[in-house]
Amino acid sequence: MNASKLFVAGMAFSMSATAFAAGAHDGGHGHGATSGEPGKASEASRTITVEMYDNYYEPEEISVKPGETVRFVVENKGNLVHEFNVGTPDMHEAHQEEMMMMVEHGIIQGGKLNHDMMNMDMGNGHSMKHDDPNSVLLEPGQSKEVIWKFSDKGNIEFACNVPGHYQAGMYGEVNFE
Ligand SMILES: [Cu+2]
């Protein structure tokens, strides 16, 4: 792939990422209504530590109350890059296409992330940063927090959308008490 083709593909990626983000922030309906919204640390009722391995989570599933805000501490204990992403199966499917682009562009390289490329301005004010509030993308040994407010009962999973990982079983159910 030559440089100009790479640039055009990058633009397409960043436009789809923007459309996705707009959908997620769309309060009363659509995807946002079933997965919840970014939470405040001060409102978190508890902390759940989630360990990521190649290719599964520990714990394999979690239980929450509708409306509960949970502070997740996510630790990558595997040898590959992994994601922790809270969403509906449809959201995960859409995000897997974006992650495929990140692999094709060399942003995700097995056990490493190309941070320079993630921060690169694509020329339209957007970048390929992976910074949605419902997810973290971690290199081996990294740990980060996600604070999420679950709004209602729904079909919600936490999942890794790095290509092949979801298919290998790297997702877990969110059960509502
Ligand atoms: Cu993974």
- What does the DSSP assignment read for 100-143? HHHHHTTSEETTEE-HHHHH---SSS-------TTEEEE-TT-E
- Residue 88 domain boundaries: 3-176
Q: How many whole angstroms from 138 Cα to the centroid of ligand 1?
A: 9
Number of separate domains in the chain: 1
Confidence of residue 34 (pLDDT cuts 50, 70, 90): low
| Short-list 1, 174, 3, CA closest to 89 | 174
Confidence of residue 152 (pLDDT cuts 50, 70, 90): confident
> CA distances (Å), 128 to each of 3, 32, 131, 137, 150, in order?
16, 22, 9, 12, 27
Give 111-150 pLDDT, tens digit per residue.
999 998 888 776 777 677 888 899 999 999 999 999 999 9
Q: How many whole angstroms from 37 Cα to the centroid of ligand 1?
A: 23
Q: How many whole angstroms from 93 Cα to the centroid of ligand 1?
A: 14
**Cβ(158)–Cβ(45) under 8 Å?**
no
Q: How many whole angstroms from 4 Cα to the centroid of ligand 1?
A: 30
Q: Give the H or E element holding residue 94.
A: helix 89-104
- What does the DSSP assignment read for 51-74? EEETTEEESS-EEE-TT-EEEEEE
Q: How many whole angstroms from 137 Cα to the centroid of ligand 1?
A: 9
Neighbours of ion ligand 1 (CB under 5 A): 82, 160, 162, 165, 170
Give 43-78 pLDDT, tens digit per residue.
999 999 999 999 999 999 999 999 999 999 999 999
Q: How many whole angstroms from 3 Cα to the centroid of ligand 1?
A: 29
The order of strands in the sheet holding 143-149 is 37-38, 143-149, 69-76, 46-53, 56-58
CATH number at residue 93: 2.60.40.420
Q: How many whole angstroms from 28 Cα to the centroid of ligand 1?
A: 31
Q: What's the CA gap between 21 and 17, in Å, rounded? A: 6
